[in-house]
Amino acid sequence: MRRASIRWVGRGAALVCLMMVTATALALIETDVWWIRVLDFPRLQIAVVLAVALVAFWWAGARDAFAGVIAIASLAALGWQVLMIAPYTAVWPRQMLAATACPEGARVRFLMANVLQDNRGSQAVLQLVRDTDPDVVLLTEIDQWWADEMAGLTASHPQTILEPRSNTYGMGLYSRLPLQDGAVRYLLEDDIPSIRTRVALPDGTIFTVWGVHPAPPRPGDDTDERDAELLIVAKEAAEASGPAVVAGDLNDVAWSSTTTLFQKISGLIDPRIGRGLYATFNANWPLMKWPLDHLFASTEWTLGEFRRLPDIGSDHFPMLVELCHQPQAAAVQEPVEPEPGDAEEAQEHIGEGREAATEDP
């Protein structure tokens, strides 16, 4: 009886290993198809399941040639998954340096929160703003109800760019720093806004902020339009005069091919690299979390505070990011270098996204 049970454990572990190997292999395919692209997200979870299944498979004692193939493929898949997420752990060198002796006038604090349109915890968001004292607040998924509830923010953050919508893609930016040339834009789809504005620090430095929230991969929505929007913003950030910051719910994980290409094209750096995952979604799923809410910055910035904030009743955790403008840091901070063909690849994605947007009903 015990031997039969062990055999069943071995077979089950082998099946799980094959499923995880298949998921790993599918994620390597360069495609916009949604059900493949979502496999970018759970790399940590796939790695953990693979490790557990491999231990169970070894314990079950299968030693034939087929078992060897399963073991080798599983180890290769596990190694690949670990390699993909390793930069988002403390063992990796930090891409954005910690700020040292930052002058008060060169500092800016961002609070980012996807509030979840149907969430009614507006007081939790207002309290979070009071507790964290940000200079700039970027809220996504705001409809008119949320815009009305957040009206009190204008007492402390009078500079606003608001585009409430009832389709979960509304957006609002609240700032106590002066804004210049702020605009709501529809880069690809006429129902998904983004924000671009220039912001003035107290020391006189002017920098540009992009607020983005493209659509996620899901049934009926491949990633061509999401990828195109992110890469359009990447090109704009690369061409911007002065420091740049891109923030928001990107609906993409930091290690995906799209976000990696975004970094190469934009020249922006990621405070997560060398620090941790800081998973923000899903706040309601204890074992299934990944980083979807991001802030990327140009190399003139160094990092002060960087925190995932408490639950506000949304399916996303908010993030607090404090940056310090230290132009000398640009000489030592290294962005991800573009490779030959990256610019052409980005332009191809943009073209595909624009074509898909024109075909949408």
Boundary of a domain, candidates 62, 88, 114 = 88
CA distances from 74 to 79, 196, 242 (A): 8, 45, 47
Name the 3-class secondary structure at 276. coil
Whether residue 361 is contained in a domain is answered as no
Residue 4's pLDDT band, with cuts at 50, 70 and 90, is low
Same domain, yes or no: 22 and 133: no
CA distances from 263 to 24, 103, 258 (A): 23, 28, 9
Whether residue 301 is contained in a domain is answered as yes
Count CB neighbours of 90 within 10 A. 8
Boundary of a domain, candidates 88, 119, 134 = 88
Residue 68 has pLDDT above 90, yes or no: no
Determine the pLDDT at residue 269: 98
Helix axes 65-85, 43-60, angle to 10 degrees: 150
Determine the pLDDT at residue 361: 61
pTM: 0.94
Same domain, yes or no: 148 and 291: yes
Q: 82-140, pLDDT tens digit by residue?
A: 999 999 999 999 999 999 889 989 999 999 999 999 999 999 999 999 999 999 999 99
Q: 176-205, pLDDT tens digit by residue?
A: 999 999 999 999 999 999 999 999 999 999
SS (H, E, C) 133-156: CCCEEEEECCCHHHHHHHHHHHHC
Whether residue 346 is contained in a domain is answered as yes
Residue 5's pLDDT band, with cuts at 50, 70 and 90, is low
Determine the pLDDT at residue 119: 98
Same domain, yes or no: 49 and 153: no
Whether residue 98 is contained in a domain is answered as no
Boundary of a domain, candidates 23, 58, 88 = 88
**Structural domain of 21:** 2-88
